[in-house]
Amino acid sequence: MAGQSYEELLERIRALSGVRVRELGRVGEYPIFAVEQGSDPQQPTALIMGGTHGDEPAGPAAVLEFCRRGSGSWLEAFNFLALPCLNPHGYARGTRHNAQDVDINWAYKRDDVPEIQVMRQLVAGRHFAFVVDFHEDWESPGFYLYELHRNVAPVGARIMETVSHICPLNTHPVIEGQRARGGVIIPTAQKHEELRGEGIPVVLYGHHTDHLLTTETPTALPLAQRVRAQLAALEVVVEAHLP
């Protein structure tokens, strides 16, 4: 797909109000930013991220829209750490991979990937109440998600119900080679073992959160519809975690 303007994305980040913007590092000429809301150290923090794959623009768009709207009363329960775009090079060129032709999402063990350095520094020593990682799928006819959870009730089915009012769902029994139920993939222990330590989602779930959702919008649909679907999914997760 055609790349997006990273400069325009940066302008939208700079235009945010009521948030703290922090440069995490640089990949070549591109800075990577985090956007933080809420600052109560007594409260848990949630991590919302997008743009790990450069050709999945609804992720960054949804993270930015989430930051633009502000979290309102949610801030009485949570701080939010948002990472709009982990892969600026891919975003600017419309490629899944980064400038090294690496799939960042599955390169956590590599020491020579600048985006992974940024990610490691961002999460070091931290535990998140939940993580929502926005992705997209060019081949999927509809929305689906991956859910990893321990000590918390799963919310995947509720997300699917909510998103069904916004866009089509992918309800195939096998998605991306894994068994799915109603569009929800809960990776098997075997699959998890296979990927252990290699992937951002696996590491985040292994060390930094008890609840991780990877949401996948169908890239063929209009961007605004995909952003609505991502934000609706996020809302279900946040509401489920409210005290």
Compute the least distance from the CB of residue 105 to Zn ion, in Å: 6
Among the listed residues 93, 135, 211, 228, the single contact to Zn ion using CB under 5 A: 135
Q: Between 71 and 87, whose beta carbon lies closer to Zn ion?
A: 87
Stretch that binds Zn ion, among 35-43, 118-126, 131-139, 230-238 (CB under 5 A): 131-139
Classify residue 169 by its DSSP letter.
B
Stretch that binds Zn ion, among 32-40, 70-78, 130-138, 184-192 (CB under 5 A): 130-138
Compute the least distance from the CB of residue 97 to Zn ion, in Å: 11
Compute the least distance from the CB of residue 84 to Zn ion, in Å: 15
Compute the least distance from the CB of residue 232 to Zn ion, in Å: 19
Stretch that binds Zn ion, among 12-20, 56-64, 121-129, 145-153 (CB under 5 A): 56-64
Which DSSP string corresponds to 122-158? Answer: HHTT--EEEEEEEEEESS-SSBEEEEEESSS---HHH
Q: Does 226 bind Zn ion (CB under 5 A)?
A: no
CB 192 within 8 A of CB 184: no
Q: Does 97 bind Zn ion (CB under 5 A)?
A: no
CB 199 within 8 A of CB 106: yes
Classify residue 213 by its DSSP letter.
E
Question: How far is residue 140's CA from residue 130's CA, in Å, rounded to a whole number?
Answer: 25
- Phi, psi dihedrals of residue 208, rounded to the nearest 5°: -130, -5
Helices (H), the chain: 6-14, 58-69, 88-93, 114-123, 156-163, 189-195, 200-203, 223-241
Compute the least distance from the CB of residue 77 to Zn ion, in Å: 28
What number of chain residues touch Zn ion (CB under 5 A)? 3
What order do you get walking across the sheet with 211-218 strand by strand?
Answer: 20-27, 30-37, 79-83, 45-49, 128-137, 211-218, 144-149, 184-185, 178-181, 174-175
Site for Zn ion in 139-198 (CB under 5 A): none
Stretch that binds Zn ion, among 47-55, 83-91, 124-132, 140-148 (CB under 5 A): 47-55
Q: Does 53 bind Zn ion (CB under 5 A)?
A: yes
R_g of the chain, CA atoms, integer Å: 16
Compute the least distance from the CB of residue 214 to Zn ion, in Å: 8
Q: Between 16 and 99, whose beta carbon lies closer to Zn ion?
A: 99
What residues line the site for Zn ion (CB under 5 A)? 53, 56, 135
